[in-house]
């Protein structure tokens, strides 16, 4: 034991000490010599302290890095706001900023009036005029028109005339909505101002939503209101379709010409849609006859111009439902319905008008645009349960 211990008295140690002393003069050496611990213990302590310091340093660096990463993550999470709710809570302040920015965009104002007749249960909506509308066309103007509807019955939509090249149109049109008093509180009046375009899809300038539950309908209301950005829900429209109808009673021929569709909903994740149209006749709630157009690949604005002739005797024309549905062809999975609508004597609004125009003008083709409606809604109205669901295109 004593041989290995490095006491300063041992001769071998003395030579080592003098060697160190010549290399690093006295003060540190004196200090170390005064500490009553062997040299190896001092080295061990020094190493331990060094290790602790190193560990501390690593901890500090790691903490700093984590904080930076977390900040980066918050920034990355922002674009995918429709992601998980945890992300949404993380980025709350940024979303507020964004919404503020969008709402600041001026879209113009709309003057409207509201009058409810409690006796006839009718809501009279006046679309008076608009001012300072946002310019949507390259010439710095717009071609505005207004679509008005109640959320309680989306099938009934009214449209004003289109006013060309103006940002301050005077509409002065009024529309009557049948709505029971009991349904008023749940319903919202929506007025959307669109810019008409002859050769491209119509742009929405802005909209106004008036929850009728908040309105005092004892009085006639007339006021101006600022237009806001159209809500996402309404922007996600299913699309519109134009077709003409012609009925010749003497030959019992019903001719349906599917002209074109526009603003169709995008159904394919990596593309647009591959639309085609099915034309179907339903008699007494049962599928009777059907035909379909060709498929137009990768477009939301397909042009078909395809005619279909059905034989429908005059005595059946009152009992027949004409169902027009737009489908998206898919190679891998089964085809999806984008939207549909039906025309017959039991239809409402635009559809009923088109059908009765056709009957009132025998032998003359009558063309009209229609908004596609959700498949479930139309099927429900038609009374088609699952077993009557329109068959798949391949069947
Ligand atoms: Ca325009
Ligand atoms: Ca497709």
Domain parsing of the chain, residue ranges: 102-226, 240-382
Nearest CA to 110 out of 158, 171, 159 is that of 171
pLDDT in tens, 121-141: 999 999 999 999 999 999 999
Measure Cα distances from 27 to 24, 31, 32, 79, 224 in Å. Answer: 9, 6, 9, 64, 91
Looking at domain 240-382, which CATH architecture does it have?
Sandwich (2.60)
Tokens standing for residue 157 = 């939509």
Q: Strand order in 286-292's β-sheet? A: 286-292, 275-283, 320-328, 336-343
Helix 11-23 vs helix 27-34: crossing angle, to nearest 10: 140
Give residue 299 CA to ligand 2 midpoint distance, Å: 10
Counting every residue written for the chain, the total comes to 395
Give residue 235 CA to ligand 1 midpoint distance, Å: 18
Strand 188-195 to 203-211 pairing: antiparallel
Give residue 256 CA to ligand 1 midpoint distance, Å: 30
Average pLDDT, integer, range 84-105: 41
Give residue 164 CA to ligand 1 midpoint distance, Å: 8
Tokens standing for residue 377 = 């809604």
- What is d(CA 293, CA 296) in angstroms, rounded to the nearest whole number? 9
Quick one: which ligand is closest to 139's CA?
Answer: 1
Tokens standing for residue 2 = 């004593």
DSSP 140: S
Read off the pLDDT band of 277 (50, 70, 90).
very high
Tell me: pLDDT of 250 over 90: yes
pLDDT of residue 93: 36
Give residue 196 CA to ligand 1 midpoint distance, Å: 5
- What is d(CA 263, CA 292) in angstroms, rounded to the nearest whole number? 20
Give residue 136 CA to ligand 1 midpoint distance, Å: 6
pLDDT of residue 289: 94
Give residue 321 CA to ligand 1 midpoint distance, Å: 35
Are 92 and 202 contacting, i.e. CB atoms less than 8 angstroms apart? no
Quick one: which ligand is closest to 195's CA?
Answer: 1
Q: What is the CATH number of domain 102-226?
A: 2.60.40.150
Average pLDDT, integer, range 10-17: 43
Quick one: which ligand is closest to 328's CA?
Answer: 2
pLDDT of residue 24: 52
């Amino acid at each position: 034991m004593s041989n290995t211990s490095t006491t300063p008295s041992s001769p071998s140690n003395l030579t080592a000490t003098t060697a160190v002393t010549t290399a690093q003069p006295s003060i540190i050496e004196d200090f170390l010599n005064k500490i009553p611990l062997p040299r190896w213990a001092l080295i061990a302590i020094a190493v331990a302290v060094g290790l602790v310091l190193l560990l501390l340093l690593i901890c500090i660096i790691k903490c700093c890095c984590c904080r930076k990463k977390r900040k980066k993550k918050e920034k990355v999470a922002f674009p995918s706001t429709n992601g998980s709710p945890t992300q949404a809570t993380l980025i709350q302040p940024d979303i507020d900023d964004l919404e503020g920015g969008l709402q600041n965009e001026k879209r113009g104002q709309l003057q409207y009036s509201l009058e409810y007749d409690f006796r006839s249960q009718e809501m009279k909506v006046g679309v008076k005029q608009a001012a300072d509308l946002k310019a949507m066309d390259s010439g710095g103007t717009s071609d505005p028109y207004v679509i008005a509807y109640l959320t309680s019955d989306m099938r009934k939509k009214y449209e004003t005339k289109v006013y060309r090249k103006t940002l301050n149109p005077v509409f002065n049109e009024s529309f009557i909505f049948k709505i029971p008093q009991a349904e008023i509180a749940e319903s919202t009046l929506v007025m959307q101002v669109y810019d008409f375009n002859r050769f491209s899809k119509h742009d929405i300038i802005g909209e106004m939503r008036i929850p009728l539950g908040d309105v005092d309908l004892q009085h006639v209301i007339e006021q101006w209101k600022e237009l806001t950005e159209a809500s996402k829900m309404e922007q996600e429209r299913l699309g519109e379709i134009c077709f003409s109808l012609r009925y010749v009673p003497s030959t019992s021929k019903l001719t349906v010409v599917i002209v074109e569709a526009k603003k169709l909903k995008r159904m394919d994740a990596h593309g647009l849609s591959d639309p085609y149209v099915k034309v179907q006749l339903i008699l007494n709630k049962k599928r009777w006859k059907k035909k379909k157009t060709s498929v137009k690949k990768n477009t939301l604005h397909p042009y078909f111009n395809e005619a279909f002739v059905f034989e429908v005797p005059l005595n059946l024309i009152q009992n027949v439902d004409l169902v027009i549905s737009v489908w998206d062809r898919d190679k891998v999975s089964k085809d999806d319905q984008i939207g549909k609508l039906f025309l017959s004597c039991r239809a409402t609004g635009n559809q009923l008008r088109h059908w009765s125009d056709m009957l009132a003008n025998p032998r003359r083709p009558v063309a009209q645009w229609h908004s596609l409606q959700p498949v479930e809604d139309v099927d429900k109205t038609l009374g088609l349960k699952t077993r009557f669901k329109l068959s798949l295109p391949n069947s």
